[in-house]
Structure 1
């Protein structure tokens, strides 16, 4: 009697699974032009078989430019004796809500790395169920959100990992003056100064650390914002609470603002070139070259101030023609009571005379700035060793 009552329920379950499979097939058969720019994860869970569960870091992983970092991702599948050669692991970077950049894919022993990640991304291979990848020689552009997708035939699951970089945010405007940059020009301006456009989270963190700037600037998501630590009338009214002011998303071509740039640890050193006399811009360039260096970029000076603790109460030329100097220990004769990089504006390159800040690449770098290539075995061993080192280890928070 009891078993007869179960049969209609079983029929309903069978019909439900068939409907799900029919829907999944109909989705995958959409025209290609409708599928462009879209990603779908269709989960088909059947009784006691086929489930794939992916687990990733709950917070974010943190490293710095030039370091190595593991993006953690583990998976469990049922049944456990699934053929490993049929497990597909794919890593992509989420560039915005509907855009993904391929990073790495593996199917059994076959592996492929894409674009700028070639030669830098490898599977960690720490045992069964490990889909983690190691990124070596991390760049500023590696910052962001990554998706780990594991597929077993028709069943799959995904997880996300946020990669953060230790660094510094700085405001930037060109010689032409304030509010002269559209979004694309701001993006290029940051790149020319050894930086990238900052994210909202990076700007918010900088504000928490005391960044106060009264001019609005572009961020990497196309929004325009500015951080106010000390409210005042000329910066959105004195009675307005401190915080990050937000103009929202602006027209990328037609509207013009400053830029907020982000840079990280240097693969080299910034120093003030000691000379008996001050020089104009052209003489500054030649002086650095004679010393085996180049004139430092704005981002490099900020990174040196942040990570080298470079402290110099003497103004000097930078690559963009601006005059700046870094102060870690504030004193009255060096521009005020707050630490930071002092900016004296843009000077006449021909007639004004100053010192110069130079940048010298690390000796273990090649002429084009890339690190020397290691063998895969040595690289993986080095990356795992650095993750275990309590001094140099990247961290998960």
Structure 2
């Protein structure tokens, strides 16, 4: 059993867990049928062949947003003459060892990870953060400053943002999926635009933050009337929760398909709402977290965060 990220996350691959099918000494998640054969989709096949999987006995510790190697070795006995496709899936476990959700799925060189990258700028405007302030801004929103690898993966999944932001390595970059003149030019191919390494104290930009699935629940608080920011904070407290942070809202939208066409306060004083299923009168035709910026006045709803 492995511990990984988000303060404490338990991961497992094919070893003692919660009623999953058991075969050849390992547990498999929706892979084997009742005869012990593969499901015919090129994931796992057995015909008198034993699959041996080796993972560490000891827990692996890291911190949220960090890169980590999850050692996993497998082999067939007897050795196969023709390679077969194999699908490896790491799943998060709750503290009671019940499965919660997948965190990494890999088929050969292709893989899908379960983190979200989002651009962030503070209430006082665009390009106001040096590197150290950018790092703290992400931490204040229940996230960490993103690495280039995390931004690149987010770009592959469709992230498009025309404002440059700090990354963990001290470079300033931004992802473009639809080239246009204000974003490096129409004739430049889609990709990650880079300003290179910048001075961490003297240069100011936005920041890209990285968040993984929260341990708690983000929800829109149904309230009889609209609220100021201070009233919104109190309303969440009265409901046994706290006002949600930006990273928590993005994670809830990404991992739990949080969808609400109601603008609400967040802890940083911004007004946002998450749309997992786009529809008329709820912003652009793409899924995303919509933002109304940082209003100086006005009353809105509120998104709260409550630990599970």
TM-score (norm 1): 0.54
Gap regions ≥5 residues in structure 1: 1-60, 72-128, 149-162, 363-397
User: SS where residue 249 of structure 2 aligns?
Assistant: helix
Q: Give 1:62 shift.
A: 11
Gap regions ≥5 residues in structure 2: 14-53, 72-102, 105-112
Aligned length: 227
RMSD: 2.5
* 2:138–2:144 Cα contact (<8 Å) kept: yes
Q: Give 1:166 shift.
A: 2.2
Q: Give 1:239 shift.
A: 1.0
Q: Indicate the structure (1 or 2) with the bigger Cα radius of gyration.
A: 1
- Following the alignment from structure 2 to structure 1, what is the Cα–Cα distance between the partners of residues 58 and 278? 43
Residues 107-122 of structure 1: pairs in structure 2 closer than 5 A: none
Residues 385-396 of structure 1: pairs in structure 2 closer than 5 A: none
Which residue of 111, 134, 137 maps to 2:59?
134
- Following the alignment from structure 1 to structure 2, what is the Cα–Cα distance between the partners of residues 330 and 64? 31
1:314 paired to 2:256: no
- Which protein is richer in helix relative to its size? 1
Q: Give 1:134 shift.
A: 1.2
- Following the alignment from structure 2 to structure 1, what is the Cα–Cα distance between the partners of residues 147 and 55? 30
Residues 26-37 of structure 1: pairs in structure 2 closer than 5 A: none
- Following the alignment from structure 2 to structure 1, what is the Cα–Cα distance between the partners of residues 243 and 69? 35
- Following the alignment from structure 2 to structure 1, what is the Cα–Cα distance between the partners of residues 69 and 256? 30
Q: Give 1:347 shift.
A: 1.1
1:212 paired to 2:154: no
* 2:128–2:206 Cα contact (<8 Å) kept: yes
Match in the other structure for 1:67: 9
* 2:3–2:10 Cα contact (<8 Å) kept: no
1:323 paired to 2:271: yes
* 1:231–1:239 Cα contact (<8 Å) kept: yes
Residue 131 and residue 273 in structure 1: after superposition, are their counterparts in 2 closer, same or farther (change >3 A)? closer
Match in the other structure for 1:272: 220
Match in the other structure for 1:170: 118
* 1:70–1:132 Cα contact (<8 Å) kept: no
* 1:172–1:261 Cα contact (<8 Å) kept: yes
- Following the alignment from structure 2 to structure 1, what is the Cα–Cα distance between the partners of residues 141 and 165? 16
1:225 paired to 2:173: yes
Residue 182 and residue 132 in structure 1: after superposition, are their counterparts in 2 closer, same or farther (change >3 A)? farther
Match in the other structure for 1:305: 253
User: SS where residue 293 of structure 2 aligns?
Assistant: strand
Residue 172 and residue 135 in structure 1: after superposition, are their counterparts in 2 closer, same or farther (change >3 A)? same
Match in the other structure for 2:304: 358
Structure 1 stretches of at least 4 aligned residues deviating more than 4 Å after TM superposition: 61-64, 129-132, 145-148
Residues 79-228 of structure 1: pairs in structure 2 closer than 5 A: 133-135=58-60, 139-141=63-65, 143-145=66-68, 166-228=114-176
